[in-house]
Amino acid sequence: MTITPPAADVDASDTTPFADDKLHASETHIDNDVQVDSIIRNQEFWFEDGSVVIIVGGQCFRVHQSILSRHSEVFNAMFSIPQPRYQEMLDGCPLVRLSDELSDFVDLLRVLYQPFYFDKLSEDADLNTLITFISGILRMSTKYMMRIIRQKCISVLQSKFPSTIEGCDTLLASKYLYPPEAIVRAIPLARESIVPEILPWAYYISTHIPTDELLNDASLSWRDKALCLAGKERLWEAQKTLTHAFVLTFERAPGCVSMCNQVFQFATERQSWKGLEMMRKSPHPLEMYTDWGSMKTCARCRESMERQHKAGREKLWELLPGMFELGSWKELQDHQGQ
8 Å CB contact between 330 and 324: no
Give the integer Cα–Cα distance in Å for 203 and 196.
Answer: 11
Q: How far is the CB of 246 from Zn ion (least distance, A)?
A: 12
User: By C-beta, is 210 or 255 nearer to Zn ion?
Assistant: 255
For residue 118, give the H/E element and its range: none
Q: DSSP labels for 147-182?
A: HHHHHHHHHHHHTTS-SSHHHHHHHHHHT----HHH
User: By C-beta, is 15 or 258 nearer to Zn ion?
Assistant: 258
Q: What is the DSSP letter of 115?
A: T
Which residues on adjacent β-strands are paired with residue 53? Answer: 62, 95
User: By C-beta, is 54 or 253 nearer to Zn ion?
Assistant: 253
Give the integer Cα–Cα distance in Å for 7 and 78.
Answer: 9
Q: How far is the CB of 298 from Zn ion (least distance, A)?
A: 3
Q: What is the DSSP letter of 11?
A: B
Give the integer Cα–Cα distance in Å for 236 and 242.
Answer: 10
| 254 Cβ contact list (under 8 Å, min separation 6) | 300
Residue numbers at the binding site for Zn ion (CB under 5 A): 256, 258, 260, 297-298, 301
| 277 Cβ contact list (under 8 Å, min separation 6) | none
Q: How far is the CB of 295 from Zn ion (least distance, A)?
A: 10
Q: How far is the CB of 312 from Zn ion (least distance, A)?
A: 19
Give the integer Cα–Cα distance in Å for 47 and 22.
Answer: 16
User: By C-beta, is 87 or 258 nearer to Zn ion?
Assistant: 258
User: By C-beta, is 230 or 256 nearer to Zn ion?
Assistant: 256
User: By C-beta, is 128 or 258 nearer to Zn ion?
Assistant: 258
Q: DSSP labels for 54-87?
A: EEETTEEEEE-HHHHHHH-HHHHHHHHSPPPTT-
Q: DSSP labels for 128-144?
A: HHHHHHHHHHHHHHHHT
User: By C-beta, is 239 or 297 nearer to Zn ion?
Assistant: 297
| 239 Cβ contact list (under 8 Å, min separation 6) | 279, 283, 284, 285
8 Å CB contact between 36 and 18: yes
